[in-house]
Chain A
Amino acid sequence: MTGPKIIFFILAISIVVFSILSITSRKILRAAIYLLFVLVAMAGLYYMMNFPFLAAVQLILYAGGIVVLIIFSILLTSQINSKLEPPRRSHLLSGALTAIAGIALSAVTILQFAFKPSSKPAIGTDMRTIGLQLMGTGENGYALPFEVISILLLAALVGSIFIALKNRT
């Protein structure tokens, strides 16, 4: 076992375990915290794969933003101490069956595929490259999605506020 391998396995196992805990825990706040652990571990994974920028965004946006949002909404809508109702057995059964079938089907399909790695030289993942591409309008430029998503976020946020606000009278 080499270092990266050990790190990967720690991350992978914690991702899987905390995922399962997050969807089974009967304390809702705990579920949120487990989710946070998953997201942080994911960030580690990105970092391992040499995407530091992505890892940072993951930490800021997900761990910092979304989980906080979720926790706020929990606070707004539920009693923190009350236990969640356990899942219905029928749901549990059908859900598990679907999940297992899905895992089997996807795993078989994906793992038997002979991936063809690109032979072209790798491009750096430093901030400069990322920044240039993010703002680029030509080949490999992501300015357009960047702009569009800003509109999306704007509309979604304003709309959310509109919906979540109590009625203006």
Chain B
Amino acid sequence: MNLQAEIPLDYMIILSILVFFIGLMGVLIRRNLITMLMGVELMLNAVNINFTAFNHYLFPHRLEGHFFALIVMAIAAAEAAVAIALIINIYRQFATVSVDDVDELKF
């Protein structure tokens, strides 16, 4: 499949940017820690589009982008695990997972 001829790189990049900032916006506006985490996952996935697209379109002689995406996935998994543990911990202490209520440390 000759993707380069069909779909320009720019499309991929625009897609990645859109997803990245949608994810960021998710982190910024959602009031639930779990949904914020989903935003983070979106951002990581957006970066992965970039890595794979660059690798595929521009630098196919090595698999750097590919492996980077792979590692990012693994780390995203670890991050999710840690996040879930912390969220459960928060839930235990604060009886809520709303980020607005977790603001005792300030100023």
Contacts and interface: CB of A to CB of B under 8 A. Distances in A.
Contacts of A76: 88, 91
Interface in A95-124: 95-96, 98-100, 102-103, 106-107, 110-111, 115-118, 120-123
Contact of B45 (A8, A38, A96, A134): A38
Contacts, number: 229
Interface residues of A, number: 85
Interface in B1-47: 1, 3, 6-7, 9-11, 13-15, 17-26, 28-32, 34-35, 37-39, 41-42, 45
Given A5-B6, A103-B17, A103-B18, A123 B60 contact: yes
Interface residues of B, number: 71
Contacts of A19: 18-19, 22-23, 26, 42
A16 B59 CA distance: 26
Given A42-B45, A70-B84, A153-B74, A87 B30 contact: yes
A115 B55 CA distance: 12
Q: Is the contact region of chain A dominated by helix, strand, or loop, or is it mixed?
A: helix
12 contacts: A23-B42, A35-B42, A50-B3, A51-B52, A58-B73, A95-B25, A98-B28, A107-B13, A120-B61, A123-B63, A130-B66, A153-B74
Q: Which 5 A-B pairs have the closest CB atoms?
A: A23-B26, A95-B28, A160-B85, A122-B60, A120-B61
Interface of B: 1, 3, 6-7, 9-11, 13-15, 17-26, 28-32, 34-35, 37-39, 41-42, 45, 48-49, 52-53, 55-63, 66-67, 69-71, 73-82, 84-89, 91-92, 97-98
